Structure 1
Amino acid sequence: MESYARFAEVYDELMTDIPYDEYVEWVMLHAPSENYPNLLDIGCGTGTMALMLDEAGYNVSGIDLSEEMLAVASSRIASKGAKIPLFAGSMDELEGFSELDVAIIPIDSINYVTEEKAIKETLQRIYASLREGGQLFFDVHSLFKMDEIFLSSPFTYDDGGVTYIWHTEPGEYEHSVYHSMSFFVGTENGLYERFDEEHFQRTFAPQQYVAWLEEIGFKSVFVTADWSHESPQEESERIFIRAIK
């Protein structure tokens, strides 16, 4: 079953707790748009962050594997009168970009790339697409979140219009999780339409990501956690990584 197929319809409603503005501030702090204007949003989803970065002064382009997500993003961008080129493609097959000032892989998108070879290929292709001094920003689920928090399912959600039941189980790799979600979306006639999605994510220790980045050639790598400037702790949930070419 394709990840982010029908999910694109309800994605934004379920992501209201994500502080996108803090992500944008993180990028702006280290790569201000006046000095790092050209930015590629990899795994741009429904375009929320791409639009925020566009409004912050960056020349933004977006790429995502999901055609459904890109359709939502295109509609959102058009409704704001913005001009943000969007492309369909897998991040481990990234090509056609060069001399980028900034690349971002936001909101644990890289955790959907589950094979080590594909992760390293993704980082290598981004490295090749950045100019000297260009920066990569991305975040991943921590080991604690993958091994402890996610596996304490089931989780439920109900806002009156969208309801879901979310089950998880350990994946075939260490620090990986299968997500099985059943959604019930309200319709105009007062009934609910059900659809199901399955997602698979995998993460690695922060030190592993740092090792890959340094092996590829990034000269400086910085690691923080949980929307802060602090180093990761044992129970940190989201790891943020910035690397400079």
Structure 2
Amino acid sequence: MNESYTHFAAVYDELMDDIPYDRYVEMAEDAIGSLYGKRLLDIGCGTGLLSVKFAKKGARVTGVDLSADMLAIAAERAKSLSLDLSFLQQPMQELTVAGPYDGAIISIDSLNYVKKREDVIQTFQRIYDALEDGGTLLFDVHSTYKTDVIFMESPFVFDNGRIAYIWQTDEGDEEHSIYSELAFFVRNENGLYRRFDEVHYQRTFDTYSYVDMLTEAGFAIERIFADWEDEPPREESERIFFQARK
């Protein structure tokens, strides 16, 4: 993991402040039932914001992420709240855990960092193997409309007084993929700004492709909805949610 990602982990929570994590907890409860006592995989858990919310509901949570820096923050967050969570550093397509789990969640387009179709299928297969019979997978991805239209309207700018960024996007090498170049400026206590840069690459697939990949991995599709609402995806939907069962 490069040095810039260390800086990114430190500002991640502040940048994600507008994400309705509580809504994700509600959706997990809708899909799985009461989380109390349930074994959950939080894949792409980042700094553990969602993992902690699941644990507060009584779930036994294992958080998985590729970034050691993100996981260090997640572990410290759980410790500060006296919550017993487990965290593993693994790429999701190489998921290796001791199941069975009652449910698995891949939140906030984390799956879009898996760029190859075969690796997405392998991710689903690894999760399928980790779930008990009847276990649930819930995840969200960028819509193709978002990658192909909305993200192409860059540059985007952000400034909350402490953190500012300029976000430039370019079309990726593969269909429905995007390169993001971000220049961050973080204000120090002395009033001076420190700059660091990030480059991200994400790829999504159309809804039918995800259905095919889930089915190939053995899952049965239960629900597909969009933009945090219990409504079917539309042409201009930005975030697509999938609920599937083993």
- 8 Å contact 2:31–2:243 — kept in the other structure? no
Please state how far the C-alpha of 1:35 moved relative to its aligned partner.
Answer: 7.6
Counterparts of residues 206-217 of structure 1 (less than 5 Å)? 206-217=207-218
Check whether the contact 2:39–2:103 (CA below 8 A) recurs between aligned residues. Answer: yes
- Once residues 97 and 238 of structure 2 are traced to their aligned partners in structure 1, the CA distance between those partners, rounded to angstroms, is 34
Q: Secondary structure at the match of 2:229?
A: coil
How far, CA to CA, are the matches of 1:36 and 1:28 in structure 2?
12
- DSSP-derived class of the 2:222 partner: strand
Partner of 1:85: 86
Instruction: Structure 1: give runs of 5+ residues left out of the alignment.
Output: none
CA contact (8 A) 1:93 1:125 kept: yes
User: Which residue pairs with 2:57 in the alignment?
Assistant: 56
Give the deviation of 1:218 after TM superposition: 1.0
Distance in structure 2 (CA, Å) of the matches to 1:107 and 1:55: 20
TM-score (norm 1): 0.97
1:161-200 correspondence to structure 2 within 5 Å: 161-200=162-201
Distance change (3 Å), C-alpha of 1:77 and 1:34: closer
Aligned partner of 1:14: which letter? L
Aligned counterparts, 1:88-167, within 5 A = 88-167=89-168
TM-superposed deviation, 1:219: 2.5
Tell me which amino acid in the other structure corresponds to 2:30.
Answer: L
Identity of counterpart residues, as a percentage? Answer: 50
Contiguous gaps of at least 5 residues in structure 2: none
Question: Partners in 2 of 1:37 and 1:218 — Cα distance?
Answer: 20
Residue 64 of structure 1 aligns with an amino acid whose one-letter code is D
What SS does structure 1 have at the residue aligned with 2:42? Answer: strand
Conservation of the 8 A alpha-carbon contact between 1:183 and 1:194: yes
- Whether the 8 Å CA contact 1:43–1:63 is kept in 2: the answer is yes
Cα distance, 1:188 vs structure 2 = 1.8
* CA apart distance, 1:17: 1.1
Letter in 2 for 1:172: D
Question: How far off is 1:97 after superposition?
Answer: 2.7
CA contact (8 A) 1:36 1:101 kept: no
Residue identity matched to 1:242: Q
After superposition, the C-alpha distances for 1:116-165 in whole angstroms (9 at most, x for unaligned) are: 11111101100011110000000000011111111100011111111100
Between 1-10 and 73-82, report the one with greater CA deviation: 1-10
Secondary structure of 2:184's counterpart equals strand
Aligned residues: CA RMSD: 1.4
Q: Secondary structure at the match of 2:27?
A: helix
Q: 8 Å contact 1:213–1:221 — kept in the other structure?
A: no
TM-score, with length taken from structure 2: 0.96
Q: What CA distance in whole angstroms lies between the structure 1 residues aligned with 2:219 and 2:119?
A: 18
The one-character-per-residue Cα deviations of 1:215-243 (angstroms, maximum 9, x if unpaired) are 22112332100001111000000000010
Q: Aligned equivalents of 1:75 and 1:57: distance in 2?
A: 19
**1:5 alignment partner, SS class:** helix
The residue aligned with 2:68 is 67
Residue deviations 1:156-182, cap 9 Å, x none?
111111110000000000100000000
Residue 205 (str. 1) matches residue 168 (str. 2): no
In structure 1, the residue matched to 2:46 is 45
Question: What is the CA–CA distance in structure 1 between the aligned matches of 2:192 and 2:99, rounded to whole Å?
Answer: 49
Aligned-pair distance for 1:96?
A: 2.4
